[in-house]
Structure 1
Amino acid sequence: MTAWLSVLVPLLVMFFALGMERVESRMREAALRQEELDQLLEQPRPDEVRALFRQGTARALELFRLRDRGPGNRRTARRSKVSS
């Protein structure tokens, strides 16, 4: 019986650690970067503010990221002019 426990306990701990590593990697991918939050709070649009209060940070950041990646993004155009 003790032999089984000495084999089973380390295996259980190892599988638990592997499972927690997967959970942690998913959380790390979904984590909010400080720069993104600062930009969102410095230059919010009305729809982003509405989403922030009604649906939470995740939806507001989704709208912010869509705005930031949009084809008519003025910030991207200004940055490219400045860097040229």
Structure 2
Amino acid sequence: MTVWFVIVVPLVIMFFALFMERVESRLKNVAVQEEEVEEFLEQAQPNEVRALYGHGIGRALEMFRLRRLGGRAAKLRPRRSRG
């Protein structure tokens, strides 16, 4: 019984570490960069702050990026809840 324990536990730990590495690499691509958040907090307009409050950092940064790219941000307005 001890032999199986000695063989199985390191294998389980190794597979768990490999799995977590894959999860981390996917999250690293999706995660928001610290510089983006700092720039957003310094230069955000009121509608972008409302989007941050109502919809989260992803939607607010999307609006911020569109405004920085040009006038296309006028098409994208924060969604208002009906409730």
What TM-score, normalized by structure 1, do the two folds share? Answer: 0.67
Residue by residue, what CA displacement relative to the aligned partner does 1:24-64 show, whole Å, maximum 9, x if unpaired? 11222222222211221222233312211111212111222
**Where does residue 15 of structure 2 map in the other structure?**
15
Pairs within 5 Å for 1:48-63: 48-63=48-63
Structure 1: 5+ residue stretches without partners: 74-84
Letter in 2 for 1:4: W
**Where does residue 81 of structure 1 map in the other structure?**
none
**Where does residue 34 of structure 1 map in the other structure?**
34
**Where does residue 6 of structure 2 map in the other structure?**
6
CA separation of 1:37 and 1:22: change in aligned 2, threshold 3 A: same
Count how many residue pairs are aligned between Structure 1 and Structure 2: 72
CA separation of 1:52 and 1:71: change in aligned 2, threshold 3 A: closer
**Where does residue 79 of structure 1 map in the other structure?**
none
Aligned-residue CA RMSD in angstroms?
Answer: 2.1
Distance in structure 1 (CA, Å) of the matches to 2:70 and 2:55: 26
Structure 2: 5+ residue stretches without partners: 73-83
Partner-residue secondary structure (3-state), 2:61: helix
Identity score, percent: 56
Cα offset for 1:71?
5.5
Q: Which runs of 4+ in 1 moved over 2 A?
A: 65-68, 70-73
**Where does residue 64 of structure 2 map in the other structure?**
64
Answer 1 or 2: higher relative contact order, Cα 8 Å, separation at least 6: 2
Letter in 2 for 1:63: M
